[in-house]
Amino acid sequence: MAAAKKLKFTVNDKAGEVSALLLRPDNAKALYVFAHGAGAGMTHRFMEAAAEKLAARGVATMRYQFPYTEKGIKRPDSEATLTATVRAAVAAAEKHAGDLPLFAGGKSMGGRMTSLAAAKEPLAGVRGLIFFGFPLHAAGKPSADRAKHLEAVALPLLFLQGSRDSLADLKLLKPLAARLQRAELFFVEGGDHSFHMLKSSGRSDEEVLDEVAAKTAGWIDSLVH
């Protein structure tokens, strides 16, 4: 597989410029604008593995940094800066997409910030949002408050969640997805917030990520054909 292409784009005058990685297979059918989670940047092994699995199924990805990770800071930026970065990333991706349909979302916080940005104002050209572990609430504090804005998102939504995810109580997530129009919930039985599997499951993390990538590619297919 070809190496990811290094890119740069500007968020705004205050936040400055951030880096991105575009991985586009020859048979690409869509481009997914892929935001990272709160604790690790775009080069984290999960992000890289997911991008490679998606590329193997014809889904190009553009991973990108938020300003705080670009600067090597651990504390995430303000919500305003994070959502501005999402919007700038989508605009940058559109320039590289050519005729590829756009999708957006991300891992944990990155997915939630993408949905917050879309709830405030439509993301130009984006056909659907894909969440790799939506952080519905803080660990041990079940609540659906973080998802109230999703009702304002007028796009198809795909939730990819592990059944052991401590940030998404299934008793809250299932009815939430059922209420939302055009939302689909895909569970990885035994997976945690990053789809990590216990040895007792008999399944490897790689096998599960393959399954998640296959589901994502199939869902995208259903919207672009």
Kindly report the pTM of this predicted structure: 0.96
The whole-number average pLDDT for the span 29-50 is 96
When mean pLDDT is compared across 88-92, 124-128, 133-137, 196-200, the lowest value belongs to 196-200
Tell me how many helices (H) and strands (E) the chain has.
6, 8
CATH class of 5-224: alpha beta
When mean pLDDT is compared across 8-22, 120-134, 140-154, the lowest value belongs to 140-154
Q: At what angle do helices 205-224 and 45-55 cross, to 10 degrees?
A: 50
Q: Which residues, 6 or more positions from 152, have their beta carbon under 8 angstroms from its beta carbon?
A: 119, 120
The whole-number average pLDDT for the span 112-137 is 96
Give residue 197's pLDDT band: very low, low, confident or very high (50, 70, 90): confident
- The span from the CA of 25 to the CA of 72, in Å, is 30
Give residue 127's pLDDT band: very low, low, confident or very high (50, 70, 90): very high
> What is the overall mean pLDDT for the chain?
94
Domain coordinates in residue numbering, the chain:
5-224
Quick one: which of 123, 189, 178 has its CA closest to 147?
Answer: 178
User: In the prediction, which pLDDT does 4 show?
Assistant: 95
Over residues 54-106, the pLDDT tens digits come to 999 999 999 999 999 999 999 999 999 999 999 999 999 999 999 999 999 99
The whole-number average pLDDT for the span 217-225 is 95
Residue 1 pLDDT > 90: no
The whole-number average pLDDT for the span 29-45 is 96
- The span from the CA of 204 to the CA of 150, in Å, is 32
Give residue 144's pLDDT band: very low, low, confident or very high (50, 70, 90): confident
Give residue 181's pLDDT band: very low, low, confident or very high (50, 70, 90): confident
Residues belonging to the chain: 225
Give residue 2's pLDDT band: very low, low, confident or very high (50, 70, 90): confident
- The span from the CA of 42 to the CA of 85, in Å, is 13
What percentage of the chain reaches a pLDDT higher than 90? Answer: 83
- The span from the CA of 9 to the CA of 128, in Å, is 22
